Amino acid sequence: MLKSVTITAITALLLSTGCAWVKTTPGGEKVRVLDQDEVSTCQELGTTTASLLDKVAGIHRNRQKVQSELQILARNSAAKIGGDTVVPISEVSEGQQRFAVYKCVGVSR
């Protein structure tokens, strides 16, 4: 019983403080999140799927926080393959979202 109360208290504390579960890498800091209509002159490099826990101990996490962290993961992933821009291509579902990865800077069309 005490263990259950302790776990619940810690979970509630973590959720209420809005602690960052995901950190942006130095490369990810240089990657932008844009809409599809803003990448018409960019080169598509591929796709990436970002995923994380959208619930902790059965409690759903804040929707905006989950979406923000998925974008951070996508930006980090894009940087690893030489991308400088990501575009969401799916809705957030069960802690997952797909993104198209683009190279826009220095691309001439």
Mean pLDDT of 3-19: 51
Note the pLDDT of residue 42.
97
Terminal Cα distance for the chain, rounded: 64
Tokens describing residue 4: 């259950």
Q: Are 76 and 26 in contact (CB under 8 A)?
A: no
Look up tokens 């799927």; give the residue.
49
Note the pLDDT of residue 5.
46
* pTM to 2 decimal places: 0.79
CB atoms within 10 A of CB 64: 8
Specify the DSSP class assigned to residue 23.
Answer: -
Q: Are 56 and 14 in contact (CB under 8 A)?
A: yes
pLDDT digits (tens, 9 = 90+) for 19-77: 556 899 999 999 999 999 999 999 999 999 999 988 888 888 889 999 999 999 999 99
Domains, the chain, ranges and CATH? Answer: 2-103 (3.30.110)
Specify the DSSP class assigned to residue 21.
Answer: S
pLDDT digits (tens, 9 = 90+) for 93-103: 999 999 999 99
